[in-house]
C-alpha cells in the first residue's frame, strides 16, 4: 500500500470553493479524502467536479460540525466509515461577506458571521484534533484569509471580525500546544497584486514559495497564483493553485524520522493578502 493511500485526510468545508480544490488535489495524489457537508446536494456537486477515478477513495457524509454535538456525531459517523483520520484540513466559512458598515448591521448578523467563520472552526477542531494530535505523521491545517489581518474594502467589517477570529484561533492553537507531535499549519489565501495568493505559517518553520488552491466554484476573478511557504516534503499543503480546477500537490511527511523544526514559530509572510 502506498504512503498516501493509507492516509485519510478530512477536509472540513471540502464541498466549498477552496475546500473542493484541496479535495481534488489530495485525491490526485492518492490520499483517501473525507468530506462533511450540511447539504447532500453540495456533496453531489463535489462528486461531479471530481474525476470518476476518485470513487472509492472519497468518503462523503452529511453532517453539521458547527456545534459540539454535531461535530461529535459527524466524527462518529466518519470513523465508522474510515476507521481513522490521519490529517485534517479546516476550510470552514464562506467565500465573501460585504453586508455594509457595522452601524447598519444587527447583532444577529454578527452572530451568523462568527458562527460560520470562527465558532465552527472551534467546534470542529475540538472534535477532530484529538484524532490526529498524537500522530507524528499527522497534521491539522487551518485555511484562513487575509481579511483577518485588515479591512479589505468598505462594508466588509464583519468579515474582518470573523476572519480575524479564525486566524487568531489557528495561531493560538499552535501556541497552546507547542509540543504536540502532529504538524499544525495555517495557510492564508488572499489577493496580492490583483491575484489570489496564500501565505503559510507552519509548525515546520520553513518558508518557500509554491502555487496553492483552486476550487469547484472559483470565479475567474478569484483565480490566480498563490504564494505559500514550507519545505517540500515537510508540509501538508505543498502546492495549490487557483484555477478552474485545482492543480494542488500536497506534501505529507513520510516518516516519523523526518526532522521537524520546533513548533509554535509563527511565520509572517506576504503583505497584502486578501480574502
Ligand atoms: N474563496 C476565497 O476567495 C477565499 C479567499 C481567502 C480565504 N478564504 C477562506 O477559505 C475558507 C473557505 O472559504 P470558501 O470560499 O471555500 O467558502 P465556501 O465556498 O462557502 O465553503 C465553505 C464551506 O464551509 C462549510 N461549512 C461552514 N459551516 C459548516 C458547518 N457548520 N458544518 C459543516 N460544514 C460547514 C460549508 O459546508 P456546507 O457544504 O455545509 O455549506 C462550505 O462547504 C474561509 O475561511 C475563507 O475565509 C476563501
Cβ of 175: how many Cβ atoms within 10 Å?
12
The preferred substitution site among 73, 93, 119 for testing ligand 1, maximizing ligand atoms within 8 Å of CB, is 93
Instruction: Tell whether the model's pLDDT for residue 268 goes beyond 80.
Output: no
Q: In terms of pTM, does the model score above 0.85?
A: no
3-class DSSP string for the chain: CCCCCCCEEEEECCCCHHHHHHHHHHHHCCCEEEEEECCHHHHHHHHHHCCHHHHHHEEEEECCCCCHHHHHHHHHHHHHHHCCCCEEEECCCCCCCCCCCHHHCCHHHHHHHHHHHHHHHHHHHHHHHHHHCCCCCCEEEEEEEHHHCCCCCCCCHHHHHHHHHHHHHHHHHHHHCCCCCCEEEEEEEEEECCEEEEEEEECCCCCCCCCECCCCCCCHHHCECCCCCCCCCCCCCCEECECCCCCCECCCCCCCCCCCCCCCCCCCCCCCCCC
The preferred substitution site among 11, 14, 15, 18 for testing ligand 1, maximizing ligand atoms within 8 Å of CB, is 18
Distance from the alpha carbon of residue 164 to the mean position of ligand 1, in angstroms: 15
Q: Calculate mean pLDDT across residues 23-38.
A: 96
Ligand 1 atom closest to the CA of 215, numbered from 1: 16
Q: Where does 8-191 sit in CATH, by number? A: 3.40.50.720
Which of 232, 215, 248 minimizes the C-alpha distance to 25? 248
Q: Calculate mean pLDDT across residues 105-115.
A: 98
* Residue 142 near residue 121, CB atoms below 8 Å: yes
Cell of 273: 493578502
Q: Calculate mean pLDDT across residues 193-214.
A: 46
Q: Calculate mean pLDDT across residues 68-94.
A: 97
Within 6 A (CB) of ligand 1 lie 13, 15-19, 36-39, 42, 64-66, 91-95, 116-117, 120, 143-145, 163, 166, 189-190, 215, 222, 275
Amino acid at each position: 500500500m502506498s504512503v498516501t493511500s493509507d492516509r485519510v485526510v478530512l477536509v472540513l468545508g471540502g464541498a466549498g470553493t477552496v475546500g473542493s480544490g484541496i479535495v481534488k488535489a489530495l485525491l490526485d495524489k492518492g490520499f483517501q479524502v473525507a468530506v462533511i457537508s450540511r447539504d447532500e446536494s453540495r456533496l453531489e456537486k463535489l462528486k461531479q467536479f471530481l474525476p470518476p477515478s476518485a470513487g472509492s477513495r472519497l468518503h462523503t457524509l452529511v453532517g453539521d460540525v458547527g456545534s459540539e454535538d454535531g461535530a461529535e456525531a459527524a466524527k462518529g459517523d466518519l470513523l465508522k466509515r474510515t476507521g481513522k483520520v490521519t490529517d485534517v484540513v479546516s476550510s470552514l466559512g464562506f467565500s465573501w461577506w460585504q453586508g455594509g458598515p457595522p452601524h447598519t448591521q444587527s447583532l444577529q448578523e454578527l452572530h451568523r458571521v462568527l458562527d460560520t467563520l470562527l465558532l465552527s472552526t472551534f467546534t470542529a477542531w475540538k472534535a477532530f484534533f484529538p484524532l490526529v494530535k498524537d500522530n507524528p505523521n499527522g497534521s491539522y491545517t487551518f485555511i484562513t484569509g487575509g481579511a483577518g489581518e485588515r479591512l479589505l474594502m468598505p462594508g466588509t467589517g464583519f468579515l474582518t471580525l470573523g476572519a480575524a477570529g479564525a486566524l487568531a484561533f489557528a495561531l493560538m492553537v499552535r501556541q497552546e500546544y507547542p509540543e504536540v507531535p502532529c504538524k499544525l499549519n495555517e495557510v492564508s489565501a488572499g489577493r496580492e497584486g490583483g491575484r489570489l495568493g496564500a501565505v503559510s505559517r507552519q509548525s515546520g518553520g520553513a518558508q518557500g514559495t509554491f502555487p496553492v488552491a483552486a476550487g469547484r466554484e472559483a470565479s475567474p476573478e478569484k483565480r490566480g497564483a498563490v504564494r505559500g511557504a514550507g519545505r517540500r516534503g515537510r508540509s501538508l499543503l505543498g502546492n495549490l493553485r487557483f484555477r478552474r480546477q485545482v492543480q494542488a500537490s500536497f506534501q505529507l511527511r513520510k516518516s516519523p524520522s523526518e526532522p521537524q523544526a520546533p513548533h509554535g514559530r509563527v511565520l509572517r509572510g506576504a503583505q497584502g493578502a486578501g480574502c
